[in-house]
Structure formats: C-alpha cells, structure tokens
Chains A and B, each alone.
Chain A
Amino acid sequence: MNPVYPLPARKYVIILFLLSSFPSLHCQDSVNLPEQENEWISDFYEENEQCFRCHETGITPSEGFPEDTIDYLRRHGMLIDREAFYKSNHRSFACDQCHFDDETDIRILAREGEFTCLNCHGFDPANDQYPFAQIAEEYGSSVHATNRSIGFSCWKCHNPHSYRSVNDTNLDLTEAVVYHNAICLDCHSKRIRDSSNSRNGGNKEFQNHDWLPNQTIHLSMVKCIECHTPVDNGIALTHLVLPGEQSEMRCVECHSQEPRLLAILNNFHAKGQRSKKGFYNSALSGELSILGTAGTDNLNTISIVIFLLTLFGIVIHIYFRIRVKRMK
C-alpha cells in the first residue's frame, strides 16, 4: 500500500489557485479577446436554431424533454454553447455540413471518432500558413497521441464548436497565456482536482511542478507548451507535447542572456510590440521581463571596462606611491 503524504500548506495554496482559476479559464471567452464584428449573422442561423432547440447548453427541461434526457446529452457532449459557437472559427457553418452523412442521408451527432482537423484543413491551400502535414506528424509523436489510453484527438484542444484561433499580437501577454493555457487546463485541471483528492499518495500532476520556484507567477505568465514542447519557433512543434520527464526543466532556457524560450514565449505576442517600441521599452512597460536576461553584452562590457579602468588607476597610484617612497 502506498503511503499517504500530507500536503504542505504551500501546495494547498497553489492547488486552490489553480482550481479556482480554471473553471473560468477553460471557457476561452473569459479572456478579453479582440472583438469580432458585432453585426455578423450566420447564413444558417435559422437552420441551426432547429438543432439548438435541443442541443444548446442553456436548455431547460420541458414536457417531452425531461431532465434525464438533458443530463444524457450533457454527459455525452451533445450540448453546444450557441454564443461560443458563433464566435468560433466554424461559426459560418451549418450544423448539417458536418453532422450529416451523405451516404446514409441521416444526421449523425458524434463525429469525433471519424474526423480530425486534417480531413478538412489538411490539403486546403487557404491554410498554407499552418503546416498541417507537419502538425500531424508532430502530433503523432506527441504524448497525447502515443498514450492511447487517454483517447486523444485534435478536438480535445480544438473544440470544433468553440475553438477560435487567436492572433497573439492583439493580446497582452497574460491574456495570451491564459487563453492558451486554458486549452491545456480544460483537461489537466480536472486531473489536478482528481489527483489532489486522491488519498493514495497521488497529486502527481501537481507534484511534477513542485521543483518550480515562484509557481504562481510561472503558471500565470508562461504558456504550458513553452516547457512541454520542444524548443523551437515553429508552430508545428507546439503540437509535439512531451511526456513530463522530457519537458523543459532547465531554468537557463528562459533565465539567461540568450533565452531560447524567451524568444518563443514572446514569439507571437512580442513581435508587434517590440517592433513598435523596441524590446526594452516594451519590457519596462509590459510584462516581458525575465530574471537573468538583463545582463546584456553591452552592460557586461561597460562594467568590465569601468572595473579595469579602476584597477588601472589603482596600479598607477601604487606605482607613484612606491616611486615617491624610494625617492625619500
């Protein structure tokens, strides 16, 4: 039998922080995303409403539509947030465009097992900016794909009914981090909650981050994928999620003068600001500062020159003191 380890108070604080944040975070709309055009109305709005009459998250029990049925739909992911859908990337779609089988001529609700993002996006020249073939390859090597017991698919992160791709340059850093981490936390916060309730020495999910100092700041200022994917600037490698033991644990990858992770961390977000204001201006006025990165080569060179000049002055002073002493 595994021993029961009591959790130190600090861990409780962090777990409480995470758990209290996540329910609001995993709804991506909690982030102050840039406004879309307000007047936009789907061409299929009326048609879709026929589906939403039964498949909308806000549905309430009525005659012929009992609580049990709603519970069933909810448990099987068959209730869709209408508002989130009409803000998502797929908002211009009619429900039937995906949930209709041309061969059998019937509507099909659960299509998660049949489709991946590549089915539609993989070979579309309009999506050239996203290297879907490479993304598929990297995803195939990721812990999400290789660990088959978790039943992962594209849809776990990119919910087709709510996912909205965001251009990070329009967000400030914390919003971008919250937005991206909410995708991970949608599943992993549940695991943290489950494991922290465990009485068998569990909470492994959280203990894996125990080595990390200043956890609250790290967790709110750094995207999960910065450490949990290989260090690279390409978007594809953000899909190669690594097992915990292979994830980045070297502080110097961020906290150094040539931080590779810093470059990625701010890859999308900081480009805009940096080009407008210069790195130090944006760093001073924003949230981009990372300890250990301030020692620029110029600062080091200047300090060494001043130090050598001081030593040179002392040597000259000693020389004249000795010379005067000998002349006496």
Chain B
Amino acid sequence: MYLYPRWIRLWHLLNAVICLLMIITGIVMQYTEQVMYPSRVVRVHITGGILLCISYVLFVIGNLVSSNRKHYRIRFKGLMGRIGKQVHYYTIGLFKGDNNPFTVTGEEKFNPLQKIFYVIIMYLFVPLVIITGWDMMFPGFFPTIIIGSMGLILSDVIHIISGFIISLFMVIHIYLCTLGPTPGRLFMSIFSGYYTGEE
C-alpha cells in the first residue's frame, strides 16, 4: 500500500538526520563540559537547530497544504480504550500471536498510540525545543516577555527536558520500526513509500 508520498519521505529523511545530529551534539554538551561557544560541537548544534527550524516549517506547511494533516487528527471519543488496546497488543498480545487491533489504511496510517505520541512530539516538544533553542541563541527574549525577567535557566531546563523526551521518542520509534515482517522491512517503507505490514 502506497502510504508515504515523496515529500514526506524526503522530509522524514532530512528530519531524522537533523534530529540524530542534534541528539548526539546535545548529549555531548549535556554530559560533558563542551558548552564553549566556539567549540565545534556547539557550532554543529546551532547549525542543526537552524536546519531543524526549517525542517519543522516544511512539516507544518506540508501538512497545511496536503491531506497528510488528517493523520494527526485525534478522535478523543474512545481514545483511552484504543490506546489501551494498542499498549496491550505491544506488551502482551504480540507475544501471544494476537492480531494488531489497528489496521493501517490510506485514511489512517498511524495507530492511536503512534498518533498521540506523534502529535505530542511534533506539536508540543519540537516547538518547545525550537523556541527555547532560539531563546538561548538570542538570550533573554522570550522569558523576559513571559515571566518579566531573563529566566534563561527556564529555557535551559525546558530545552534539556524536551530534547531528552524527543531522544527517548526517537529510540522507541526506531525500535518499533523493527516490528515489520522482518526487522528491516518497515525501514524500507520510508525509502520506497510502500507500507508492508507488521509482524
């Protein structure tokens, strides 16, 4: 089933490379003392951050002008029940040979669990990480407006926590992509555009 049009595949590839770059340089800065402005790590992180902003703008525009936005619409009625079923499948049903409670279609390509996480990541944490990142590039702008003083530490903490959550998401996202007919099959989908089903 052809699910991923060319622009989404290109955007996804670009976004994946940028996110990996940001996570690696972010980890180096967070867990070592490599926060010196002229250091290569910081330069790469700043450059990656600007590219991430461009990538995010492309994502928003793409969803605004294409039908892809429908995949991010959450139906709240019965949401918890559907999420519960999906969690049960991934944690128990998968090992008992149960069928996936969600069927991928052209109208709905994300299961309820994917959808809620994608929306939270793409429409909450990525904007947060971008806004706080800009604030740290141009210190003192946003929090001055919001809390009336230069609360860089607020931006710093939000940036770190948001970045960490996006990193966790990326790890889980990559792992769940191994749940195809073979561990590598779903990864091919994002190159070919064709969805080939899960285990």
Residues of A within 8 A of B (CB): 211, 213-214, 217, 221, 250-252, 255-257, 280, 283-295, 299-300, 303, 306-307, 310-311, 314, 317, 320-321, 323-324
Contacts and interface: CB of A to CB of B under 8 A. Distances in A.
Nearest to A324: B95
A214 B30 contact: no
A303 B164 contact: yes
Contacts of A321: 94-95, 199
Interface residues on B, range: 20 to 34
Interface stretch (B49-57, B78-86, B123-131, B167-175): B167-175
Nearest to B140: A217
Interface of B is mostly: helix
13 contacts: A211-B38, A284-B147, A284-B153, A289-B150, A291-B35, A294-B156, A294-B157, A295-B30, A295-B31, A306-B168, A310-B172, A314-B172, A323-B95
A290 B36 contact: no
Nearest to A256: B33
Interface string B165-184: 00110011001000000000
Interface of B: 29-31, 33, 35-38, 90, 94-95, 97, 136, 138-140, 147, 149-154, 156-157, 160, 164, 167-168, 171-172, 175, 199
B160 A284 contact: no
Contacts of A286: 149
A294 B156 CA distance: 6
Nearest to B42: A251
Given A251-B37, A299-B160, 10 more contacts: A214-B138, A284-B151, A284-B153, A291-B136, A292-B35, A293-B156, A300-B30, A307-B164, A314-B175, A324-B94
Contacts of A280: 153
A255 B30 CA distance: 11
B171 A291 contact: no
A307 B35 contact: no
B38 A252 contact: no
